[in-house]
Amino acid sequence: MIAKSSQLILSDCGAGLRRPEYTDISVDCGTSSIGLAILICPVMYTGYNESLLILNHLFDDPLCQGTLDETVTPPVVRFNFPLNMTNSCGSTFMTTSAAGTGIFSDFSNIQTVNVSGVVRSHDPTTGTVTYNAELKYYYSCAYPLEYLINNTQIDVSASSIAVQDNNGSFISTLSMDLFSDVNYTSPLIIPTLGIELRTEVYVQVKATNLTDQYHVLLDRCYASISPHPNNSTFFNLFVSCSRDQMTSVHENGDSHHARFSFPAFRFIEQQNETVSTYYLHCITRLCDIGACSDFKQCNSRRRRDVDSSVSDNGLTESTVLSSPVPIITKTENDLASKEQDVSGSGSNSTVGLGIAVGILTVAVIVALAMAAAFYTKLRRY
């Protein structure tokens, strides 16, 4: 392999011309790709340039080669490759499974996928000995594959010649929307006084800008009176394969969106309020397209079948997604008011009729008395 000459020369590095250190690599764990940035000046100090840094032993793939970026200070070599098992520049995908804890305690298989690899230096020296040290830049990105969708921020941590591990998250790609039709084309408009009870609510949890490696799988969806479901009355629409009889699951684990519907209801403890207001939440898993069918099996995700083994059939951990707006349903107060109005008008009609009958009775009595007096008077004559 013949090394291409770098656009930089040693004198351009200044104080950056030094021995390599553990912090010389940074990793960006994106939702559809992974980006690496390696300081070039320590590489040049060791006797190499950007063309001699090889990603996962792929010498001849131009899409997996590094490019020099002199627009930043200090300059770096950048690698960027897609996040999927079919074309990720030789990266290794490893999925670990562990029993769920906390909000995921109902699930036995909470998974994390780790994407890792190494950038190595290639020494072009021929002969018996070399004076160039070998460089190895290890990287890894750990992605949880289960999410409670409520826009909770996922903290990103970074560590590390040169090992650096980062955490990535797909939470930014997930969203929940409410619709009023079975085709999921008309957004649900909730008026101030709420929607009618038994109005069908269509829910879609969707992933956008997500690698084709994963599908969206809903593990649990429920409603709570509080937007913060931890300390609130809640109602399960479905958990795994167990669902409320009024809930219909239309699509789950088959694409980048999952869909279900339910008729609008109200919480009994809100019966004295004008409207019943509650929030929708979904624990959402991203599953590898080859593993979704396994996780759709009803008995594979419950606590009784805890599996803490390491596997390669890719699943993510979970997060909670909440409805963008609260769901508001009408109570029976309006109907009661109408009944009271009808009842009141009926009472008034009854009173009026009674008065009329009383007046008519008095008139008849007076007329009879006058007739009797007139008859008596005629007989005297």
Give the Cβ contact number of residue 83 at 10 Å: 25
Residues 6+ apart with CB under 8 A from 276: 194, 265, 266, 267, 270, 328, 329, 330, 331
pLDDT by residue for the chain (381 residues), tens only, comes to 434 445 788 888 888 899 999 899 999 999 889 999 999 999 999 889 999 999 999 998 999 999 999 999 999 999 999 988 778 999 999 988 888 777 777 777 888 999 999 999 998 888 777 888 889 999 999 998 888 776 333 233 333 346 566 778 888 889 999 999 999 999 999 888 888 889 999 999 999 888 888 999 999 999 988 887 777 789 999 998 888 999 999 999 999 999 999 999 988 888 888 888 899 999 999 988 888 888 877 654 443 333 333 334 455 556 677 776 788 887 654 444 434 443 444 444 444 555 555 666 666 666 666 666 655 555 555
- Tell me which amino acid residue 348 is: N
Pairing, β 248-251 against β 174-179? unpaired
By DSSP bridging, strand 76-82 and strand 25-29 are: unpaired
**Of 238, 239, 249, 319, which is closest to residue 286 (Cα–Cα)?**
319
* Contact assessment for residue 198 and residue 191, using Cβ atoms and an 8 Å cutoff: no
Residue 35: CB atoms within 10 Å: 15
Domains plus CATH for the chain?
A: 10-92+112-141+157-169 (2.60.40.3210), 173-330 (2.60.40.4100)
pLDDT value of residue 215: 93
DSSP string for residues in 113-172 = EEEEEEEEE-----SS---PPP-EEEEEEEEE-EEEES-PPPP--B----EEEEE---GG
pLDDT at 245: 93
Query: In sequence order, what E strands does 30-75 have?
Result: 33-39, 53-55, 67-69
